[in-house]
């Protein structure tokens, strides 16, 4: 009886998997700035481009809305979300708790240190090429790898979501170099301290780092919002 009842769910598995794949494609496009905050996503164009059904696309939209990357407005469509200053503050509040707590536990050079170091190298290469978007990507990867020290898939997933939202903030900055470049040297400083196994000192550096970054972003974001350049008001929800 129970097995027979599950037969009806067989089609849902295929559809859900397909929707997950579409969501992954759109998530990447949003994170890299191909779809900009406040931009309306045209269903007809996306379904034609990806070769998927409208129902599959809408399920992908639902998943990304749950992740706070999209907003859906009745009779208006689906938009890439535009964050408010309050969102920025909350993102950094969570980052402060998670990242600093993970780093503070380090007492010997972590196993993941080479991966953290690789993001710093990646950042230097982007700086040399003056590719500010790539520098931002390297910086995001640095923080993702910091949390990966904990070896927790749940924390990794949490950070992926937080950092994907944060990319929405970076994409509306007028001068990404201004924000990302100064933090490359600070990434190296934290890396050096972690290599010595001094977690508490690294956490102290990271606390100051995140405090400064939050202050910069909040100030810049408040100016942009006051100038009404953050996209459609409804896409801020």
The pLDDT tens digits for 128-154 are: 999 988 898 899 999 999 999 999 999
Q: What is the DSSP string of 13-47?
A: HHHHHHHHHHHHHHHHHHHTTSSPTTPEE-HHHHH
Which position has the higher pLDDT, 227 or 57? 57
- State the pLDDT confidence band at 197, using cuts at 50, 70 and 90: very high
Q: Which two tokens stand for residue 98?
A: 């998670």
pLDDT at 77: 94
User: Does the pLDDT of residue 235 top 60, yes or no?
Assistant: no
CB-CB contact of 220 with 171 (8 Å): no
Q: What is the mean pLDDT of the chain?
A: 88
Q: Which of 20-29, 59-68, 221-230 tops mean pLDDT?
A: 59-68
pLDDT of residue 1: 42
pLDDT in the model for residue 3: 53
Other beta carbons within 10 angstroms of residue 93's beta carbon come to: 12
Using a pLDDT cut of 90, give the percent of the chain over it.
57
Residue 1, SS3 per DSSP: coil
Residue 203 has pLDDT above 70, yes or no: yes
What are the pLDDT digits (tens) for 92-106?
999 999 999 999 999
User: 3-state class of 199 per DSSP?
Assistant: helix
Which pTM was predicted? 0.82
Per-residue pLDDT at 12: 55
pLDDT tier at 207, thresholds 50, 70, 90: very high
For the cut 60, the answer to whether the pLDDT of residue 157 exceeds it is yes
């Amino acid at each position: 009886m129970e097995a027979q009842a599950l037969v009806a769910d067989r089609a849902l598995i295929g559809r859900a998997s397909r929707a997950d794949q579409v969501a992954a494609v759109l998530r990447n496009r949003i994170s890299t700035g191909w779809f900009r905050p406040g931009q309306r996503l045209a269903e007809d164009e996306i379904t034609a481009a990806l070769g998927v059904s409208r129902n599959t696309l809408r399920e992908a939209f639902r998943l990304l809305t749950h992740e706070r990357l999209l907003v859906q407005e009745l009779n208006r469509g689906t938009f890439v979300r535009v964050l408010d200053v309050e969102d920025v503050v909350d993102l950094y509040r969570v980052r402060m708790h998670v990242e600093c707590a993970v780093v503070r536990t380090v007492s010997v050079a972590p196993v993941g240190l080479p991966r953290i170091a690789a993001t710093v190298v990646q950042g230097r290469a982007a700086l040399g090429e003056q590719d500010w978007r790539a520098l931002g990507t390297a910086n995001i990867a640095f923080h993702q790898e910091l949390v990966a020290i904990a070896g927790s898939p749940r924390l990794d997933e949490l950070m992926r979501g937080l950092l994907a939202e944060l990319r929405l903030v970076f994409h509306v900055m007028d001068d990404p170099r201004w924000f990302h470049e100064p933090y490359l040297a600070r990434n190296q400083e934290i890396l050096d301290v972690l290599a010595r196994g001094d977690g508490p000192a690294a956490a102290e550096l990271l606390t100051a780092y995140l405090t400064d970054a939050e202050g910069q972003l909040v100030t810049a974001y408040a100016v942009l919002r006051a100038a009404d350049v953050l996209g459609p008001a409804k896409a801020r929800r």
